[in-house]
Amino acid sequence: MEFRKTHRRTKRLLGTQHRSHAIAAICLLAASVVMVAGCDRPSAGAETPTRGMSLQQISKLPPSADDADKARLLHPIQYSTPQTPRVATDQVDALGHPITISCASCHSNFSERTPVVSAEKLQAFHVGLKFQHGSPNQQLTCLTCHHADNYNYLRLADGQPVEFRNSRSMCAQCHAAQDRDYEHGAHGGMNGYWDRVQGIQVRKTCIDCHDPHSPQFPHMLPNFKPLDRFLEPSLHHNQHEQKH
Amino acid sequence: MSQEQDTKNRDSNSETPQKRAGMELPILGQVSRRTAIKGAAAVAGVAALGVAAAPMLQKTAELSAAEFMQRHFKELTDEDKRIIFERLENEAQEKYDAEVQIGDHPPIRGVRFGYAINLSLCNGNGKCMEACHRENNHDRATQQSYIRIFEMPVGTTDFEQGNTSYDHEVPQKSHYYLPVQCFQCDNPPCVSVCPVEATWQESDGIVVVDYNWCIGCRYCMAACPYHARRFNWKEPEIPADEVNPDQGYLSNRIRPQGVVEKCHFCLHRTRVGKLPACLEACPTGARIFGDLMDPDSNIRWVLANKRCFTIKEELGTKPMMFYFFD
C-alpha cells in the first residue's frame, strides 16, 4: 500500500515534468527551425582539415564555433525499451488469444520475502533459470533488482521502483562505466544512421545483448571465414603447430 | 575597374590628349599593350590547340579507341557519368541477371570519417566479415571480404604471431581479436605507388579505386603494410538473388576480373549518413564510426576518452582506424 502511494506521487511528478519538457521541446524546435532555415550543412572547406594532424591533435580539436552547426535538426535516437514481462499460461481467452499474467499476480500473494541467492533452490517456478550475476563475494539476490513489494517493477539500490522499460538506469548503478560509454555510442552498437541529420539511429539496450540473470556475453563459434590461398590446410596454423 | 568606368576614362582621355601623354608615349604606329596581349593570347591559343591536337594527328591504326581515351582524357560530366552507370547497370543485368542501381556518392563537405574498434569487446565471431561479404558483392566461392580478424596472443601487436584461420569457440583465454581492414590512411602508400592514378584519397579521407581505370599491376597491394587490398583473380560469382542492388561506382559495384579492390568504409552507405555494414552486423558493439570533424560525434568522444592506438604507427601512414582496450 505504501508503495502504491509513493508510486502515484512519482507518477504525478512525472506528469508535470512531461508537460514542462514538452513546452521546452516545442520552444527548442521552433528556435532550431528559425536558425536552420538560414544555413546549409556546415562547410569546413573542401580541403582535408585533419591532414597531417597527429592523433592527439585530432582528439583535442576545439569545439566548432559555428553555432548554426549546433542548431541542426537532429533525428531522434530510437532506444530499445524492454517490455514489462508477462508470464504465459496454457489457457486462451474467448477470442482464442493466449492468456498471460503479470508477475505480481502470483508474487503479491506471497508474504515471505526470503532473499533467494541461487535459482537452483527454486522448486515451484522459474525452474531451470540460470542465475549468475555478480561475483561470489558480493552475492546478488532476486530482490537486489526485483521490487519486493511489486514484482511488476524493478528497484534501485535506494528502494525506488523502476519500470522495466527504464531498466538501463538500474543496470547503470553498478555498471557506470559501461553506461557512460553507451551514452557516447561506444558500447552496445547501433543501427541506422551515424549522421542524425539524415536519419534515425537505433540503439539496443542492456538486456538485448546481456541476459540480466546471466550477463556474461556468450561464447560464439565463427561460421564465416574467407578462403584465402594462404589459409589452405597445408599451411593451417593449428596443424602447423601440431607438427612441432 | 568596371566596364562603365573604363569607358568613361577612355572617353575623357580622348578629349584631353595631353593627359594621355603622361600615361603612354605618343609614338605613331605603336601597338597598344591591350592589343599586344590579345594578339599573343590568340597565337598561344592556336599553338595550344595544335599541341592538344597533335596526338590526334599521330593516332595510328594500332592504337585502339580505349587506349587513346586512356592517354587523353577529360573530366566526366554528370551526363557522361549517367551513361557510364547505365552501361554498368546493363552489364550487371546481363552477367548476373540482377537489377542494380549504381550511384555516384560524392563526399559530404566538411566530413572526415574515423573508425574505432574496442578490442576489449571484439570476440572474433566474424559477423563483420560476413556482412562485408554480402554488402560488397564479393565472390561467393572464395568467401572474400575486406576484413580479416587476427587471433592474437595477449601482449603483442605482432601480426606474425596472429592467426586468421582459427575455427574454434571464441573468445579463447589469453587471446584477443584484432579485426583489420583498410584504415583509409591519411598518408596512403598505396596511392603514391599507383602508376595510373587509379586510386586516390577523397576529401572525407576514404581511399577509393576506380575499377575501370585499374590496370591490375598490384603495386598498391605490395605497398600496403596492412594487407588491406584484394585482387580479383577471377570474375566474382554471385547468385542473382544475393546481389546487393544498392551500389556505388567507387564502392560495391561488382568488380571486373583483374582489378584491385579494398574497403571503402561502405561509402555508398556512409556518404548518405548510414552506418557501415560491418558496424551494424557486430553483435558485440565493438565498432564505433563517425565524423572526426564533429566535436559531438561518438568517434571524437572515443578519441578524447579512450587510450587509442593505431597499427604500425611508426610507418607514418596515419591510419584513420583507431583501436583501444578498456
- pTM attached to this predicted model: 0.73
Q: Tell me which DSSP letter residue A102 carries.
A: E
Which residues in chain A (24-83) have CB-CB distances under 8 A to chain B? 41-52, 55, 58-64
Which residues in chain A (212-231) have CB-CB distances under 8 A to chain B? 217, 219-228, 231
The reported pLDDT for the residue numbered B54 is 61
Cβ neighbours of B109 in A, within 8 Å: 41, 43-46
The answer to whether residues B301 and B159 touch, using CB atoms and an 8 Å cutoff, is no
In this predicted structure, which of A15-24, A155-164, B165-174 has the lowest mean pLDDT? Answer: A15-24
Give the number of residues written for chain A.
Answer: 244
Q: Is B168 on the interface with A (CB under 8 A)?
A: yes
B61 burial (CB, 10 Å; 0-12 / 13-18 / 19+) is exposed
Put simply, the answer to whether B170 touches A52 (Cβ < 8 Å) is no
The reported pLDDT for the residue numbered B292 is 96
Average pLDDT over residues A73-99: 88
Residues B213-224: tens digit of each pLDDT: 999 999 999 999
Residue from the list B270, B279, B292 with its beta carbon closest to the beta carbon of A50: B292
- In a mutational test of the B interface, the residue from A194, A200, A241 whose CB has the highest number of chain B CBs within 10 Å is A194
Q: Which of B122, B103, B28, B61 is nearest to B321 (CA)?
A: B122
The reported pLDDT for the residue numbered A88 is 84
Put simply, the answer to whether A43 touches B109 (Cβ < 8 Å) is yes
Average pLDDT over residues A168-196: 95
Per cent of chain A over pLDDT 90 is 32
In the predicted structure, residue A130 carries a pLDDT above the cut 90? no
The reported pLDDT for the residue numbered B5 is 44
In the numeric block, the cell 563517425 is attached to: B290
Put simply, the answer to whether B203 touches A47 (Cβ < 8 Å) is yes
Cβ neighbours of A225 in B, within 8 Å: 126, 129, 143, 165, 167
Put simply, the answer to whether B283 touches A189 (Cβ < 8 Å) is yes
Q: Tell me which DSSP letter residue A232 carries.
A: S
Q: Is A130 on the interface with B (CB under 8 A)?
A: no
The reported pLDDT for the residue numbered B3 is 45
Reduce the DSSP state of residue A87 to 3 states and report it: strand
User: How far does the CA of residue A230 sit from the closest CA of chain B (Å)?
Assistant: 10
> Distance between CA atoms of B299 and A58, rounded to whole angstroms?
11
Q: Is A115 on the interface with B (CB under 8 A)?
A: no
Handedness of CA B51, B52, B54, B57 (dihedral sign): negative
- For chain B, which ranges sit under pLDDT 70? 1-64, 66-73
- In a mutational test of the A interface, the residue from B143, B173, B275, B278 whose CB has the highest number of chain A CBs within 10 Å is B275
> Distance between CA atoms of A216 and B45, rounded to whole angstroms?
75
Residues A198-236: tens digit of each pLDDT: 999 999 999 999 999 999 999 999 999 998 866 555 444
- Where do runs of H (alpha helix) occur along A38-93? 55-59, 67-70
In the predicted structure, residue A243 carries a pLDDT above the cut 50? no
Cβ neighbours of B108 in A, within 8 Å: 41, 195
Q: Is B119 on the interface with A (CB under 8 A)?
A: no
User: How far does the CA of residue A244 sit from the closest CA of chain B (Å)?
Assistant: 15
Residues B205-261: tens digit of each pLDDT: 999 999 999 999 999 999 999 999 999 999 999 999 999 999 999 999 999 999 999
User: How far does the CA of residue A181 sit from the closest CA of chain B (Å)?
Assistant: 9
In the numeric block, the cell 566596364 is attached to: B3
- What's chain B look like in SS3? CCHHHHHHHHHHHHHCHHHHHCCCCCCCCCCCHHHHHHHHHHHHHHHHHHHHHHHHHHCCCCCCHHHHHHHCCCCCCHHHHHHHHHHHHHHHHHHHCCCCEEECCCCCCCCCEEEEEECCCCCCCCHHHHHHHHHCCCCCCCCCCCCEEEEEECCCCCHHHCECCCCCCECCCCEEEEEECCCCCCCCHHHHHCCCCCEEECCCCCEEECCCCCCCCCHHHHHCCCCCEEECCCCCCCCHHHCCCEEECCCCCCCCCCCEEECCCCHHHHCCCECCHHHHHCCCCCEEEEECCCCCCHHHHHHHHCCEECCCHHHCCCCCEEEECC
The reported pLDDT for the residue numbered A105 is 85
Which residue of A lies nearest to B116 if distances are taken between CA atoms? A186
Residue from the list A190, A195, A219 with its beta carbon closest to the beta carbon of B169: A219
Residues B105-119: tens digit of each pLDDT: 999 999 999 999 999
**Average confidence score pLDDT of chain A:** 75
- Grid cell for residue B33: 599593350
Residue B288 β-bridge partners: B116
Which residues in chain B (70-89) have CB-CB distances under 8 A to chain A? none
In the predicted structure, residue A19 carries a pLDDT above the cut 60? no
The answer to whether residues B323 and B226 touch, using CB atoms and an 8 Å cutoff, is no
The reported pLDDT for the residue numbered A58 is 67
Which residue of A lies nearest to B165 if distances are taken between CA atoms? A231
The reported pLDDT for the residue numbered A189 is 93
Put simply, the answer to whether B274 touches A45 (Cβ < 8 Å) is no
Q: What is the CATH number of domain B113-229+258-324?
A: 3.30.70.20
Q: Give the residue, A187 or B36, on which the prediction is more confident.
A: A187
The reported pLDDT for the residue numbered B11 is 43
The answer to whether residues A182 and B288 touch, using CB atoms and an 8 Å cutoff, is no
Cβ neighbours of A45 in B, within 8 Å: 109-110
The reported pLDDT for the residue numbered A165 is 93
CA atoms within 13 A on the CB side of B97: 6
The reported pLDDT for the residue numbered B66 is 61
CA atoms within 13 A on the CB side of B147: 30
